[in-house]
Amino acid sequence: MSTLGGPAISRDSSLQCCIDVLDANSNPNNNSLRDIVNTSRPIYLQGTTFAGTGAGRYIRCDGTGAGSNLVGSRINIATTASQIDRFNINSNFSFVFLVYPEGTGRIFSTGSAGSGTTDNCIWQMWLAQSQFYWWNGGGGGTDNINSLTGVFFTTNAWNHITVTYAATGAVARVYLNGTQVGIQAGATNLVDRTAQTDLQWTLGGGYASSCFTENTASRFQQFLLYNKTLSASEVLQNFNAVRGRVNL
């Protein structure tokens, strides 16, 4: 699959979700979103706007609405009842983003978001400019047991970010624009949220502490989710498929 006539992204049965603002199958009326892989997957657009034209089209979360038990402006993407796209320490997975963060805070998280419009204070992992967190089951910021740190994106610019996790060795990696920029191995006792109801992927925000939500103004063009650990060559393939859109 490709847009703008460029090379194709890595696509096989491991691709669980594909949202792409520039693909007519994902954005059929140029003002909505659906998952190309699972067109019946619920996607909740909370306080978001579409802007830009042509290859510059994007959906923006404006960063507002942070607070206790609030969703605010962000995109909640439901997981499936089969739980094939819910991940724990024994799963291999990868997340891919083409994103323009306007701040350094959380641009992505996974956890429970109630009906898609409310928070339930059950979070699993999140990504900010300098941190990829995966929590244990205790809750609260001090209970984080796996913090991969680095510089994972540039603010006020387009970034292609890939987060991969390999269950063997519990190895998490972050790639920026096709190049690995962070790695951490050997995490233990990572929380398994797969049984949690209403588990969702959230673009534009995430859990901070004590049921307090942190949202970050950010623009998205593409979000991919795999139930495998992408190789370095696959990460580069995905980057090359879209880099021409935003001159990376």
Averaged pLDDT, 83-110: 87
Which one, of 121, 95, 122, 50, lies nearest residue 203 by Cα?
95
Measured CA to CA, the distance from residue 45 to residue 52 in angstroms comes to 17
User: pLDDT band at residue 4, thresholds of 50, 70 and 90?
Assistant: very low
Averaged pLDDT, 17-26: 94
Averaged pLDDT, 97-113: 87
Token pair belonging to 117:
């419009």
Measured CA to CA, the distance from residue 23 to residue 123 in angstroms comes to 30
Average pLDDT, the chain: 82
pLDDT of residue 134: 72
Identify which has the larger pLDDT, 59 or 189: 59
Token pair belonging to 78:
């439901």
Measured CA to CA, the distance from residue 46 to residue 74 in angstroms comes to 5
- Backbone φ and ψ for 241, nearest 5 degrees, come out as -70, -25
pLDDT at 104 over 80: yes
Token pair belonging to 6:
């460029």
pLDDT of residue 192: 62
User: pLDDT band at residue 210, thresholds of 50, 70 and 90?
Assistant: low
Written in H, E and C, the secondary structure of the chain is: CCCCCCCCCCCCCCEEEEEECCCCCCCCCCCCCCCCCCCCCCEEEECEEEECCHHHCEEEECCCCCEECCCCCEEEEECCCCCCCCCCCCCCEEEEEEEEECCCCCCEEEEECCCCCCCCCEEEEEECCCEEEEECCCCCHHHEEEEEECCCCCCCCCEEEEEEEECCCCEEEEEECCEEEEEECCCCCCCCCCCCCCEEEEECEEEEECCEEEECCEEEEEEEEECCCCCHHHHHHHHHHHHHHCCC
pLDDT tens digits, one per residue of 49-67: 999 999 999 999 998 876 6
pLDDT tens digits, one per residue of 119-167: 555 667 788 898 887 765 444 444 444 567 889 999 999 999 999 999 8
Averaged pLDDT, 231-236: 96
Which one, of 154, 158, 153, lies nearest residue 248 by Cα?
158
Averaged pLDDT, 165-186: 90
The Cβ of residue 4 has, within 10 Å, a number of other Cβ atoms equal to: 12
Averaged pLDDT, 162-189: 88
Most confidently modeled range among 101-115, 131-145, 200-214, 227-241: 227-241
Which one, of 134, 89, 109, 68, lies nearest residue 199 by Cα?
109
User: Which of 35-39, 120-124, 167-171 shows the lowest mean pLDDT across its residues?
Assistant: 120-124
pLDDT of residue 67: 63
Measured CA to CA, the distance from residue 93 to residue 14 in angstroms comes to 9
The Cβ of residue 85 has, within 10 Å, a number of other Cβ atoms equal to: 23
Most confidently modeled range among 78-87, 147-156, 191-200, 228-237: 228-237
pLDDT of residue 5: 38
pLDDT at 78 over 50: yes
